[in-house]
Chains A and B, each alone.
Chain A
Amino acid sequence: MKIRFQGVGKEFRVRGAERPFTALHDVDLDVRAGEFLTLVGPSGCGKSTLLDLLAGLAAPTTGRILLDGVPVEGPGLDRGIVFQQYALFPWRTALSNVEFGLEAKAVPRKERAERARSYLDLVGLSGFEDRYPHELSGGMRQRVAIARSLAFDPDVLLMDEPFAALDAQTRESLQEELLRIWQKTGKTVLFITHGIDEAVYLGQRVAVMTSRPGRIKRILDVEFDSREGDLRADPRFGEYRHEVWTLLRDEVAAARAEEAVSVG
Protein backbone atom coordinates (compact mmCIF):
# COMPACT_ATOMS: atom_id res chain seq x y z
CA MET A 1 0.00 0.00 0.00
CA LYS A 2 1.48 3.35 -0.93
CA ILE A 3 1.17 6.48 1.12
CA ARG A 4 0.99 10.02 -0.20
CA PHE A 5 1.00 13.22 1.83
CA GLN A 6 -0.20 16.16 -0.27
CA GLY A 7 0.41 19.63 1.14
CA VAL A 8 -0.45 18.43 4.62
CA GLY A 9 -0.57 21.05 7.35
CA LYS A 10 -1.70 20.85 10.95
CA GLU A 11 -2.53 23.65 13.33
CA PHE A 12 -3.43 23.36 16.99
CA ARG A 13 -5.55 25.77 18.93
CA VAL A 14 -3.70 26.54 22.10
CA ARG A 15 -5.40 27.83 25.20
CA GLY A 16 -4.83 31.52 25.77
CA ALA A 17 -2.95 32.05 22.50
CA GLU A 18 -4.36 34.31 19.83
CA ARG A 19 -2.97 32.64 16.74
CA PRO A 20 -3.17 28.89 16.20
CA PHE A 21 0.02 26.94 16.62
CA THR A 22 1.42 25.51 13.39
CA ALA A 23 2.96 22.08 13.91
CA LEU A 24 3.18 20.97 10.28
CA HIS A 25 3.26 23.08 7.16
CA ASP A 26 2.90 21.87 3.63
CA VAL A 27 4.27 18.38 3.99
CA ASP A 28 4.70 16.44 0.75
CA LEU A 29 5.88 12.88 1.01
CA ASP A 30 5.46 9.70 -0.97
CA VAL A 31 6.09 6.32 0.51
CA ARG A 32 6.19 3.46 -1.99
CA ALA A 33 4.35 0.24 -1.46
CA GLY A 34 6.44 -2.20 0.51
CA GLU A 35 9.03 0.43 1.31
CA PHE A 36 10.81 0.91 4.64
CA LEU A 37 11.05 4.66 5.16
CA THR A 38 12.58 6.22 8.22
CA LEU A 39 11.72 9.73 9.34
CA VAL A 40 14.07 11.87 11.41
CA GLY A 41 13.74 15.44 12.59
CA PRO A 42 14.46 17.65 15.57
CA SER A 43 12.32 17.19 18.66
CA GLY A 44 8.96 18.93 18.37
CA CYS A 45 9.04 19.23 14.59
CA GLY A 46 5.79 17.33 14.21
CA LYS A 47 6.79 13.72 13.56
CA SER A 48 4.26 12.23 15.94
CA THR A 49 1.65 14.63 14.64
CA LEU A 50 2.29 13.41 11.13
CA LEU A 51 1.83 9.84 12.28
CA ASP A 52 -1.41 10.68 14.09
CA LEU A 53 -2.75 12.18 10.88
CA LEU A 54 -1.79 9.13 8.87
CA ALA A 55 -3.34 6.89 11.51
CA GLY A 56 -6.56 8.84 11.18
CA LEU A 57 -6.55 9.81 14.86
CA ALA A 58 -6.62 13.49 13.90
CA ALA A 59 -7.56 15.37 10.75
CA PRO A 60 -5.13 17.63 8.88
CA THR A 61 -5.92 21.34 8.76
CA THR A 62 -4.85 21.58 5.14
CA GLY A 63 -4.00 19.09 2.42
CA ARG A 64 -4.80 15.43 2.37
CA ILE A 65 -3.34 12.00 2.94
CA LEU A 66 -3.94 9.23 0.44
CA LEU A 67 -3.60 5.50 0.94
CA ASP A 68 -3.46 3.84 -2.44
CA GLY A 69 -5.20 6.93 -3.75
CA VAL A 70 -7.99 6.85 -1.14
CA PRO A 71 -8.12 9.74 1.37
CA VAL A 72 -7.72 8.77 5.03
CA GLU A 73 -11.06 9.22 6.77
CA GLY A 74 -10.33 7.79 10.18
CA PRO A 75 -8.53 4.97 11.97
CA GLY A 76 -8.56 1.55 10.39
CA LEU A 77 -7.05 -1.88 10.63
CA ASP A 78 -5.14 -1.37 7.38
CA ARG A 79 -2.65 0.59 9.48
CA GLY A 80 -0.97 -0.75 12.60
CA ILE A 81 0.70 1.58 15.09
CA VAL A 82 3.48 0.89 17.52
CA PHE A 83 3.81 3.66 20.07
CA GLN A 84 6.91 4.70 21.90
CA GLN A 85 5.40 3.87 25.30
CA TYR A 86 4.14 0.43 24.21
CA ALA A 87 0.51 1.24 25.08
CA LEU A 88 -0.26 -2.34 26.10
CA PHE A 89 -3.43 -2.98 28.06
CA PRO A 90 -2.17 -3.78 31.55
CA TRP A 91 -5.16 -5.96 32.46
CA ARG A 92 -4.57 -8.25 29.52
CA THR A 93 -1.90 -10.90 29.22
CA ALA A 94 0.61 -10.79 26.39
CA LEU A 95 -1.50 -13.19 24.36
CA SER A 96 -4.71 -11.35 24.95
CA ASN A 97 -3.05 -8.04 24.11
CA VAL A 98 -2.06 -9.46 20.75
CA GLU A 99 -5.63 -10.70 20.32
CA PHE A 100 -7.02 -7.22 20.81
CA GLY A 101 -6.79 -6.14 17.19
CA LEU A 102 -8.15 -9.50 16.10
CA GLU A 103 -11.20 -9.00 18.30
CA ALA A 104 -11.72 -5.64 16.65
CA LYS A 105 -11.52 -7.44 13.34
CA ALA A 106 -14.05 -10.04 14.51
CA VAL A 107 -11.78 -13.02 13.95
CA PRO A 108 -13.29 -16.17 15.53
CA ARG A 109 -12.03 -16.92 19.02
CA LYS A 110 -10.11 -20.07 18.25
CA GLU A 111 -8.30 -18.65 15.26
CA ARG A 112 -7.59 -15.54 17.32
CA ALA A 113 -5.62 -17.44 19.91
CA GLU A 114 -3.76 -19.41 17.28
CA ARG A 115 -2.77 -16.35 15.35
CA ALA A 116 -1.77 -14.41 18.45
CA ARG A 117 0.38 -17.32 19.53
CA SER A 118 2.15 -17.50 16.19
CA TYR A 119 2.90 -13.77 16.20
CA LEU A 120 4.23 -13.91 19.74
CA ASP A 121 6.42 -16.71 18.48
CA LEU A 122 7.51 -14.55 15.55
CA VAL A 123 8.83 -11.88 17.93
CA GLY A 124 10.50 -14.53 20.06
CA LEU A 125 8.08 -14.52 22.96
CA SER A 126 6.65 -18.03 23.02
CA GLY A 127 6.37 -19.12 26.61
CA PHE A 128 5.38 -15.63 27.75
CA GLU A 129 1.76 -15.77 26.57
CA ASP A 130 0.27 -15.62 30.02
CA ARG A 131 2.42 -12.84 31.43
CA TYR A 132 0.91 -9.47 32.21
CA PRO A 133 2.75 -6.44 30.81
CA HIS A 134 4.14 -5.52 34.21
CA GLU A 135 5.74 -8.94 34.35
CA LEU A 136 7.69 -8.32 31.14
CA SER A 137 10.84 -6.32 30.47
CA GLY A 138 10.72 -3.15 28.36
CA GLY A 139 12.05 -4.95 25.30
CA MET A 140 9.52 -7.75 25.71
CA ARG A 141 6.68 -5.27 26.06
CA GLN A 142 7.73 -3.55 22.88
CA ARG A 143 7.84 -6.91 21.13
CA VAL A 144 4.32 -7.66 22.32
CA ALA A 145 3.25 -4.30 20.94
CA ILE A 146 4.88 -5.13 17.61
CA ALA A 147 3.23 -8.55 17.57
CA ARG A 148 -0.10 -6.88 18.31
CA SER A 149 0.27 -4.55 15.36
CA LEU A 150 1.37 -7.33 13.05
CA ALA A 151 -1.29 -9.79 14.12
CA PHE A 152 -4.23 -8.08 12.47
CA ASP A 153 -2.15 -7.96 9.31
CA PRO A 154 -2.17 -4.27 8.40
CA ASP A 155 -0.70 -3.20 5.07
CA VAL A 156 1.13 -0.33 6.70
CA LEU A 157 3.16 -0.37 9.90
CA LEU A 158 3.57 2.99 11.63
CA MET A 159 6.19 3.11 14.34
CA ASP A 160 6.86 6.12 16.56
CA GLU A 161 10.30 5.83 18.14
CA PRO A 162 9.49 2.31 19.25
CA PHE A 163 12.99 1.44 20.43
CA ALA A 164 13.92 4.74 22.05
CA ALA A 165 13.51 3.55 25.62
CA LEU A 166 15.54 0.37 25.20
CA ASP A 167 19.17 -0.40 25.90
CA ALA A 168 21.57 -0.68 22.95
CA GLN A 169 21.68 -4.49 22.80
CA THR A 170 17.94 -4.95 22.96
CA ARG A 171 17.48 -2.21 20.40
CA GLU A 172 19.86 -3.78 17.93
CA SER A 173 18.31 -7.20 18.21
CA LEU A 174 14.82 -5.74 17.76
CA GLN A 175 16.02 -3.76 14.75
CA GLU A 176 17.25 -6.93 13.13
CA GLU A 177 14.05 -8.70 14.00
CA LEU A 178 12.00 -5.90 12.52
CA LEU A 179 13.97 -5.99 9.27
CA ARG A 180 13.50 -9.73 9.10
CA ILE A 181 9.75 -9.40 9.62
CA TRP A 182 9.53 -6.60 7.08
CA GLN A 183 11.36 -8.64 4.46
CA LYS A 184 9.13 -11.59 5.19
CA THR A 185 5.81 -9.75 5.14
CA GLY A 186 6.49 -7.03 2.57
CA LYS A 187 4.59 -4.39 4.54
CA THR A 188 5.05 -0.68 4.03
CA VAL A 189 6.82 0.71 7.09
CA LEU A 190 7.01 4.32 8.25
CA PHE A 191 9.47 4.44 11.12
CA ILE A 192 10.04 7.56 13.20
CA THR A 193 13.28 7.83 15.13
CA HIS A 194 15.66 10.17 16.89
CA GLY A 195 18.61 7.99 16.12
CA ILE A 196 20.62 8.74 13.00
CA ASP A 197 22.25 5.32 13.08
CA GLU A 198 18.89 3.67 13.44
CA ALA A 199 17.45 5.69 10.54
CA VAL A 200 20.31 4.77 8.21
CA TYR A 201 20.43 1.16 9.35
CA LEU A 202 16.72 0.48 8.91
CA GLY A 203 15.56 2.73 6.12
CA GLN A 204 15.71 2.21 2.38
CA ARG A 205 15.21 5.93 2.39
CA VAL A 206 15.62 8.46 5.16
CA ALA A 207 13.35 11.50 5.22
CA VAL A 208 14.73 14.45 7.16
CA MET A 209 12.31 17.04 8.51
CA THR A 210 12.89 20.71 9.20
CA SER A 211 12.36 22.26 12.60
CA ARG A 212 8.88 23.43 13.44
CA PRO A 213 6.72 24.03 11.50
CA GLY A 214 7.79 20.71 10.09
CA ARG A 215 8.30 20.08 6.41
CA ILE A 216 10.24 17.42 4.57
CA LYS A 217 13.70 18.87 4.07
CA ARG A 218 15.43 16.09 2.13
CA ILE A 219 14.93 12.47 1.29
CA LEU A 220 18.04 10.39 1.18
CA ASP A 221 18.36 7.09 -0.68
CA VAL A 222 20.28 4.57 1.35
CA GLU A 223 21.83 1.81 -0.71
CA PHE A 224 24.32 -0.79 0.29
CA ASP A 225 25.95 -3.30 -2.02
CA SER A 226 24.93 -6.01 0.34
CA ARG A 227 23.10 -6.09 3.66
CA GLU A 228 25.08 -9.09 4.79
CA GLY A 229 27.56 -8.78 7.64
CA ASP A 230 28.01 -5.77 9.89
CA LEU A 231 26.34 -2.96 8.02
CA ARG A 232 27.50 -0.39 10.52
CA ALA A 233 31.12 -1.13 9.61
CA ASP A 234 30.49 -0.40 5.93
CA PRO A 235 32.24 2.86 4.93
CA ARG A 236 29.09 3.98 3.14
CA PHE A 237 27.19 3.67 6.39
CA GLY A 238 29.45 6.39 7.79
CA GLU A 239 28.87 8.58 4.77
CA TYR A 240 25.07 8.35 4.99
CA ARG A 241 25.26 8.86 8.67
CA HIS A 242 27.32 12.01 8.25
CA GLU A 243 24.99 13.34 5.59
CA VAL A 244 21.89 12.93 7.78
CA TRP A 245 23.79 14.35 10.71
CA THR A 246 24.71 17.49 8.72
CA LEU A 247 21.14 17.96 7.53
CA LEU A 248 19.84 17.59 11.06
CA ARG A 249 22.44 19.78 12.72
CA ASP A 250 21.19 22.93 11.06
CA GLU A 251 17.60 22.08 11.91
CA VAL A 252 18.36 21.26 15.51
CA ALA A 253 20.19 24.59 15.78
CA ALA A 254 17.17 26.33 14.27
CA ALA A 255 14.86 24.56 16.70
CA ARG A 256 17.06 25.62 19.63
CA ALA A 257 17.06 29.22 18.50
CA GLU A 258 13.29 29.14 18.13
CA GLU A 259 12.90 27.70 21.62
CA ALA A 260 15.23 30.32 23.06
CA VAL A 261 13.15 33.06 21.47
CA SER A 262 9.83 31.69 22.65
CA VAL A 263 11.10 31.11 26.18
CA GLY A 264 13.07 34.35 26.56
Chain B
Amino acid sequence: MASVSAGASAARTPSAASQGASHPSAPVPDVLREAVAEASRQGDAGPGTALRLLRGSARAAVAVGRRTVAVAALAALWEVLPRLEAVDPTFLPPLSEVVVAWWDLLLSGQLLDHTQASLVRSLAGFALAIVVAIPLGLLIGWYKPLADLLNPLLELFRNTAALALLPVFVLILGLGETSKISIILYACAWPILLNTIAGVKGVDPLLIKSARSMGLRPLRLFQKVILPAAVPTVFTGVRLAGAYSILVLVAAEMVGAKAGLGYLINYAQFNFRVPDMYAGIITISVLGLAFNQLLVRLERRFSTWRTS
Protein backbone atom coordinates (compact mmCIF):
# COMPACT_ATOMS: atom_id res chain seq x y z
CA MET B 1 0.00 0.00 0.00
CA ALA B 2 2.88 2.31 0.87
CA SER B 3 4.24 2.04 -2.66
CA VAL B 4 1.01 3.19 -4.21
CA SER B 5 0.79 6.35 -2.17
CA ALA B 6 4.47 7.08 -2.66
CA GLY B 7 4.16 6.53 -6.37
CA ALA B 8 1.09 8.70 -6.58
CA SER B 9 2.70 11.59 -4.78
CA ALA B 10 5.70 11.43 -7.05
CA ALA B 11 3.51 11.22 -10.10
CA ARG B 12 1.64 14.28 -9.03
CA THR B 13 4.82 16.33 -9.18
CA PRO B 14 4.75 17.08 -12.93
CA SER B 15 1.36 18.74 -12.77
CA ALA B 16 2.36 20.81 -9.78
CA ALA B 17 5.50 21.76 -11.66
CA SER B 18 3.47 22.66 -14.70
CA GLN B 19 1.60 25.25 -12.69
CA GLY B 20 4.83 26.70 -11.45
CA ALA B 21 6.39 26.66 -14.87
CA SER B 22 3.54 28.38 -16.65
CA HIS B 23 4.16 31.40 -14.50
CA PRO B 24 5.33 34.21 -16.76
CA SER B 25 8.60 34.79 -14.95
CA ALA B 26 11.62 34.24 -17.16
CA PRO B 27 13.49 30.94 -16.93
CA VAL B 28 17.11 30.89 -15.86
CA PRO B 29 18.69 31.26 -19.32
CA ASP B 30 16.83 34.55 -19.81
CA VAL B 31 18.25 35.85 -16.59
CA LEU B 32 21.71 34.92 -17.75
CA ARG B 33 21.10 36.48 -21.12
CA GLU B 34 20.00 39.67 -19.41
CA ALA B 35 23.15 39.67 -17.36
CA VAL B 36 25.31 39.27 -20.44
CA ALA B 37 23.33 41.90 -22.32
CA GLU B 38 23.62 44.22 -19.40
CA ALA B 39 27.35 43.68 -19.37
CA SER B 40 27.83 44.09 -23.10
CA ARG B 41 25.56 47.13 -23.32
CA GLN B 42 28.64 49.18 -22.56
CA GLY B 43 29.90 48.31 -26.04
CA ASP B 44 33.62 49.10 -26.28
CA ALA B 45 35.55 47.51 -23.50
CA GLY B 46 35.96 50.42 -21.13
CA PRO B 47 37.28 50.21 -17.64
CA GLY B 48 33.76 49.57 -16.32
CA THR B 49 33.17 46.46 -18.42
CA ALA B 50 34.68 43.92 -16.09
CA LEU B 51 32.88 45.41 -13.14
CA ARG B 52 29.60 45.39 -15.02
CA LEU B 53 30.06 41.78 -16.09
CA LEU B 54 30.76 40.89 -12.50
CA ARG B 55 27.71 42.72 -11.25
CA GLY B 56 25.56 41.19 -13.99
CA SER B 57 26.59 37.66 -13.23
CA ALA B 58 26.20 38.26 -9.52
CA ARG B 59 22.63 39.30 -10.14
CA ALA B 60 22.06 36.20 -12.26
CA ALA B 61 23.49 34.03 -9.53
CA VAL B 62 21.12 35.58 -7.01
CA ALA B 63 18.19 34.92 -9.32
CA VAL B 64 19.20 31.30 -9.77
CA GLY B 65 19.71 31.01 -6.04
CA ARG B 66 16.23 32.27 -5.30
CA ARG B 67 14.74 29.70 -7.59
CA THR B 68 16.61 26.78 -6.09
CA VAL B 69 16.37 27.68 -2.43
CA ALA B 70 13.15 25.74 -1.79
CA VAL B 71 14.46 22.63 -3.51
CA ALA B 72 17.74 22.91 -1.62
CA ALA B 73 15.83 23.24 1.66
CA LEU B 74 13.82 20.12 0.87
CA ALA B 75 17.01 18.22 0.03
CA ALA B 76 18.60 19.36 3.27
CA LEU B 77 15.58 18.28 5.31
CA TRP B 78 15.55 14.94 3.53
CA GLU B 79 19.17 14.45 4.48
CA VAL B 80 18.97 15.66 8.05
CA LEU B 81 15.65 14.37 9.37
CA PRO B 82 16.39 10.65 8.79
CA ARG B 83 19.89 11.10 10.22
CA LEU B 84 18.46 12.63 13.36
CA GLU B 85 15.93 9.79 13.36
CA ALA B 86 13.14 12.30 13.42
CA VAL B 87 11.67 10.03 10.77
CA ASP B 88 12.32 6.33 10.44
CA PRO B 89 15.36 5.97 8.10
CA THR B 90 14.20 2.50 7.05
CA PHE B 91 11.22 4.07 5.30
CA LEU B 92 12.85 7.36 4.39
CA PRO B 93 16.61 6.90 4.03
CA PRO B 94 18.73 10.08 3.88
CA LEU B 95 18.98 11.67 0.47
CA SER B 96 22.65 10.81 0.10
CA GLU B 97 21.84 7.09 0.31
CA VAL B 98 19.18 7.52 -2.32
CA VAL B 99 21.65 9.32 -4.55
CA VAL B 100 24.15 6.51 -4.15
CA ALA B 101 21.46 3.97 -5.01
CA TRP B 102 20.51 6.06 -8.04
CA TRP B 103 24.15 6.16 -9.15
CA ASP B 104 24.48 2.38 -8.80
CA LEU B 105 21.32 1.88 -10.83
CA LEU B 106 22.72 4.17 -13.47
CA LEU B 107 26.08 2.41 -13.62
CA SER B 108 24.47 -1.01 -13.86
CA GLY B 109 22.49 0.22 -16.84
CA GLN B 110 19.20 -0.72 -15.20
CA LEU B 111 18.06 2.86 -14.81
CA LEU B 112 18.57 3.56 -18.48
CA ASP B 113 16.66 0.44 -19.50
CA HIS B 114 13.72 1.30 -17.28
CA THR B 115 13.70 4.92 -18.35
CA GLN B 116 13.78 3.92 -21.97
CA ALA B 117 10.90 1.49 -21.55
CA SER B 118 8.88 4.19 -19.81
CA LEU B 119 9.69 6.89 -22.31
CA VAL B 120 8.71 4.73 -25.25
CA ARG B 121 5.32 4.05 -23.71
CA SER B 122 4.72 7.63 -22.67
CA LEU B 123 5.78 9.15 -25.95
CA ALA B 124 3.89 6.60 -28.02
CA GLY B 125 0.66 7.20 -26.11
CA PHE B 126 1.21 10.93 -26.11
CA ALA B 127 1.98 11.12 -29.84
CA LEU B 128 -0.96 8.91 -30.77
CA ALA B 129 -3.22 11.08 -28.61
CA ILE B 130 -2.09 14.17 -30.51
CA VAL B 131 -2.66 12.49 -33.84
CA VAL B 132 -6.13 11.31 -32.87
CA ALA B 133 -7.45 14.07 -30.63
CA ILE B 134 -6.49 17.22 -32.51
CA PRO B 135 -8.26 16.36 -35.79
CA LEU B 136 -11.23 14.98 -33.88
CA GLY B 137 -11.41 18.10 -31.71
CA LEU B 138 -11.21 20.37 -34.75
CA LEU B 139 -14.03 18.44 -36.37
CA ILE B 140 -16.24 18.49 -33.29
CA GLY B 141 -15.54 22.15 -32.59
CA TRP B 142 -16.21 23.21 -36.14
CA TYR B 143 -19.19 21.05 -36.99
CA LYS B 144 -21.93 22.01 -34.58
CA PRO B 145 -24.35 19.07 -35.10
CA LEU B 146 -21.55 16.68 -34.19
CA ALA B 147 -20.77 18.72 -31.08
CA ASP B 148 -24.40 18.65 -29.98
CA LEU B 149 -24.55 14.91 -30.54
CA LEU B 150 -21.34 14.07 -28.71
CA ASN B 151 -21.48 16.60 -25.91
CA PRO B 152 -23.28 14.42 -23.32
CA LEU B 153 -20.81 11.64 -24.02
CA LEU B 154 -17.85 13.96 -23.66
CA GLU B 155 -19.22 15.28 -20.38
CA LEU B 156 -19.57 11.73 -19.07
CA PHE B 157 -16.09 10.60 -20.02
CA ARG B 158 -14.24 13.72 -19.02
CA ASN B 159 -15.55 13.23 -15.50
CA THR B 160 -14.40 9.62 -15.35
CA ALA B 161 -10.86 9.27 -14.05
CA ALA B 162 -8.72 7.56 -16.66
CA LEU B 163 -7.11 5.29 -14.11
CA ALA B 164 -10.51 3.97 -13.07
CA LEU B 165 -10.62 2.41 -16.51
CA LEU B 166 -7.19 0.78 -16.27
CA PRO B 167 -8.64 -2.59 -15.23
CA VAL B 168 -10.98 -2.46 -18.21
CA PHE B 169 -8.07 -1.83 -20.56
CA VAL B 170 -6.13 -4.71 -19.02
CA LEU B 171 -9.16 -6.96 -19.26
CA ILE B 172 -9.72 -6.25 -22.92
CA LEU B 173 -6.20 -5.66 -24.22
CA GLY B 174 -4.22 -7.89 -21.87
CA LEU B 175 -1.19 -7.07 -19.76
CA GLY B 176 1.16 -6.21 -22.63
CA GLU B 177 2.30 -3.00 -24.21
CA THR B 178 -0.99 -2.44 -26.02
CA SER B 179 -2.99 -1.86 -22.88
CA LYS B 180 -0.29 0.36 -21.37
CA ILE B 181 0.05 2.57 -24.41
CA SER B 182 -3.71 2.60 -24.82
CA ILE B 183 -4.41 3.87 -21.33
CA ILE B 184 -1.81 6.62 -21.79
CA LEU B 185 -3.32 7.45 -25.16
CA TYR B 186 -6.73 7.57 -23.56
CA ALA B 187 -5.67 9.78 -20.67
CA CYS B 188 -3.74 12.15 -22.93
CA ALA B 189 -6.48 12.41 -25.52
CA TRP B 190 -8.96 14.11 -23.19
CA PRO B 191 -7.18 17.33 -22.39
CA ILE B 192 -6.15 17.67 -26.03
CA LEU B 193 -9.62 16.93 -27.32
CA LEU B 194 -11.43 19.22 -24.89
CA ASN B 195 -8.99 22.07 -25.35
CA THR B 196 -9.09 21.77 -29.12
CA ILE B 197 -12.88 21.91 -29.08
CA ALA B 198 -12.79 24.90 -26.74
CA GLY B 199 -10.16 26.57 -28.89
CA VAL B 200 -12.20 26.24 -32.06
CA LYS B 201 -15.41 27.35 -30.37
CA GLY B 202 -13.74 30.23 -28.59
CA VAL B 203 -12.53 32.06 -31.68
CA ASP B 204 -13.58 35.71 -31.50
CA PRO B 205 -16.71 36.01 -33.69
CA LEU B 206 -15.57 39.44 -34.80
CA LEU B 207 -12.47 37.90 -36.42
CA ILE B 208 -14.66 35.42 -38.24
CA LYS B 209 -16.91 38.25 -39.35
CA SER B 210 -13.94 40.27 -40.50
CA ALA B 211 -12.53 37.38 -42.51
CA ARG B 212 -15.92 36.57 -43.95
CA SER B 213 -16.33 40.17 -45.06
CA MET B 214 -13.19 39.68 -47.14
CA GLY B 215 -14.90 36.90 -48.99
CA LEU B 216 -13.32 33.88 -47.30
CA ARG B 217 -15.17 30.62 -47.88
CA PRO B 218 -15.65 28.21 -44.96
CA LEU B 219 -12.63 26.05 -45.76
CA ARG B 220 -10.21 28.96 -46.10
CA LEU B 221 -11.80 30.55 -43.05
CA PHE B 222 -11.00 27.43 -41.10
CA GLN B 223 -7.43 27.32 -42.34
CA LYS B 224 -6.66 31.02 -42.00
CA VAL B 225 -8.62 32.07 -38.93
CA ILE B 226 -10.03 29.23 -36.84
CA LEU B 227 -6.88 27.12 -36.87
CA PRO B 228 -4.32 29.79 -35.98
CA ALA B 229 -6.66 31.31 -33.41
CA ALA B 230 -7.07 27.93 -31.71
CA VAL B 231 -3.37 27.02 -31.60
CA PRO B 232 -2.61 28.40 -28.12
CA THR B 233 -5.60 26.67 -26.55
CA VAL B 234 -4.75 23.43 -28.31
CA PHE B 235 -1.23 23.73 -26.99
CA THR B 236 -2.44 24.14 -23.45
CA GLY B 237 -4.14 20.79 -23.93
CA VAL B 238 -0.97 19.26 -25.31
CA ARG B 239 0.99 20.48 -22.32
CA LEU B 240 -1.54 19.01 -19.91
CA ALA B 241 -1.44 15.76 -21.85
CA GLY B 242 2.34 15.72 -21.45
CA ALA B 243 1.91 15.76 -17.69
CA TYR B 244 -0.79 13.08 -17.85
CA SER B 245 1.38 10.82 -19.97
CA ILE B 246 3.89 10.54 -17.13
CA LEU B 247 1.24 10.45 -14.43
CA VAL B 248 -0.68 7.55 -15.88
CA LEU B 249 2.46 5.77 -16.97
CA VAL B 250 3.53 4.99 -13.43
CA ALA B 251 0.20 3.46 -12.53
CA ALA B 252 0.08 1.48 -15.75
CA GLU B 253 3.54 0.08 -15.13
CA MET B 254 2.64 -1.10 -11.67
CA VAL B 255 0.33 -3.67 -13.20
CA GLY B 256 1.99 -6.58 -14.94
CA ALA B 257 5.06 -4.81 -16.34
CA LYS B 258 8.56 -6.23 -16.56
CA ALA B 259 10.32 -2.95 -17.18
CA GLY B 260 9.78 0.74 -16.72
CA LEU B 261 10.19 3.21 -13.91
CA GLY B 262 6.78 2.40 -12.46
CA TYR B 263 7.82 -1.21 -12.37
CA LEU B 264 11.14 -0.30 -10.78
CA ILE B 265 9.43 1.68 -8.03
CA ASN B 266 6.90 -1.03 -7.35
CA TYR B 267 9.44 -3.85 -7.50
CA ALA B 268 11.90 -2.05 -5.24
CA GLN B 269 9.21 -1.43 -2.69
CA PHE B 270 8.12 -5.05 -2.82
CA ASN B 271 11.67 -6.25 -2.20
CA PHE B 272 12.25 -3.63 0.43
CA ARG B 273 14.98 -1.87 -1.52
CA VAL B 274 13.79 1.44 -0.26
CA PRO B 275 16.63 3.64 -1.65
CA ASP B 276 16.04 2.15 -5.12
CA MET B 277 12.38 2.99 -4.79
CA TYR B 278 13.15 6.63 -4.07
CA ALA B 279 15.71 6.68 -6.87
CA GLY B 280 12.94 5.61 -9.24
CA ILE B 281 10.58 8.23 -7.87
CA ILE B 282 13.13 10.99 -8.29
CA THR B 283 13.87 9.89 -11.82
CA ILE B 284 10.25 10.01 -12.81
CA SER B 285 9.82 13.44 -11.22
CA VAL B 286 12.76 14.82 -13.13
CA LEU B 287 11.49 13.22 -16.31
CA GLY B 288 8.08 14.80 -15.87
CA LEU B 289 9.62 18.15 -15.07
CA ALA B 290 11.89 18.06 -18.13
CA PHE B 291 9.06 17.02 -20.43
CA ASN B 292 6.89 19.80 -19.09
CA GLN B 293 9.65 22.37 -19.52
CA LEU B 294 10.10 21.29 -23.10
CA LEU B 295 6.41 21.66 -23.83
CA VAL B 296 6.23 25.03 -22.10
CA ARG B 297 9.07 26.24 -24.31
CA LEU B 298 7.31 24.98 -27.40
CA GLU B 299 4.06 26.52 -26.28
CA ARG B 300 5.70 29.87 -25.84
CA ARG B 301 7.18 29.74 -29.30
CA PHE B 302 3.82 28.98 -30.84
CA SER B 303 1.99 31.78 -29.10
CA THR B 304 4.36 34.73 -29.11
CA TRP B 305 1.47 36.87 -30.30
CA ARG B 306 -0.46 36.34 -27.11
CA THR B 307 -0.59 39.33 -24.85
CA SER B 308 -0.51 37.49 -21.56
Which residues of A pack against B, CB within 8 Å? Answer: 55-57, 74-77, 79, 81, 83, 85, 87, 89-92, 100-101, 103-104, 132-134, 152
Contacts and interface: CB of A to CB of B under 8 A. Distances in A.
B209 interface: yes
Contact of A100 (B206, B209, B214, B307): B214
Interface stretch (B11-19, B69-77, B95-103, B220-228): B220-228
Given A91-B228, A104-B220, A55 B213 contact: yes
Contact of A91 (B210, B211, B215, B231): B231
Given A83-B206, A85-B206, A103-B224, A90 B305 contact: yes
25 contacts: A56-B213, A57-B212, A57-B213, A74-B215, A75-B212, A75-B213, A76-B215, A79-B213, A83-B209, A83-B210, A85-B206, A87-B210, A89-B225, A90-B229, A91-B228, A91-B229, A91-B231, A92-B305, A100-B211, A100-B214, A100-B224, A103-B224, A104-B216, A132-B304, A134-B305
Given A101-B214, A104-B214, A104-B216, A91 B206 contact: no
Contacts of A56: 213
A29 B225 CA distance: 34
Given A89-B207, A91-B229, A103-B224, A81 B213 contact: yes
Nearest to B307: A134
A75 B214 contact: yes
A189 to B, nearest CB: 16
A132 B212 contact: no
Interface in B281-301: none
Interface in B136-158: none
Most chain B CB neighbours (cut-off 10 Å) among A56, A75, A134: A75
A77 B224 contact: no
A90 B220 contact: no
Interface residues of B, number: 20
Contact of A89 (B209, B220, B228, B304): B228
B306 interface: yes
A91 B220 CA distance: 16
Contacts of A57: 209, 212-213
Given A55-B213, A83-B209, A89-B228, 6 more contacts: A85-B206, A87-B209, A89-B229, A104-B214, A104-B215, A104-B220
A103 B231 CA distance: 21
Per DSSP, are chain A's interface residues mostly helix, strand or loop, or mixed? loop
Contacts of A101: 214
Contacts of A92: 228, 305
A10 to B, nearest CB: 16
Contacts of A55: 213
B215 A132 contact: no
A152 B209 contact: no
B305 A77 contact: no
Contacts of A103: 224
A77 B212 contact: no
A90 B215 contact: no
Nearest to B212: A75
Contacts of A74: 215
A103 B225 CA distance: 13
Most chain B CB neighbours (cut-off 10 Å) among A56, A77, A90: A90
A31 to B, nearest CB: 18
A53 to B, nearest CB: 12
Contacts of B211: 100
Given A90-B306, A91-B228, A132-B305, A77 B209 contact: no
A157 B168 CA distance: 62
Interface in B52-92: none
Contacts of A81: 210, 213
Contacts of B220: 104
A56 B307 CA distance: 32
Interface string B188-219: 00000000000000000011011111111000
Nearest to B231: A91
A87 B220 CA distance: 18
B274 to A, nearest CB: 51
A103 B304 CA distance: 23
Nearest to A104: B214
B217 to A, nearest CB: 9
Contacts of B224: 100, 103
A103 B207 CA distance: 16
A155 to B, nearest CB: 14
A87 B206 contact: yes
A73 B170 CA distance: 58
A57 B210 CA distance: 10
Most chain A CB neighbours (cut-off 10 Å) among B228, B305, B307: B305
Contacts of A89: 207, 225, 228-229
A152 B214 contact: yes
Contacts of A85: 206
A257 B75 CA distance: 72
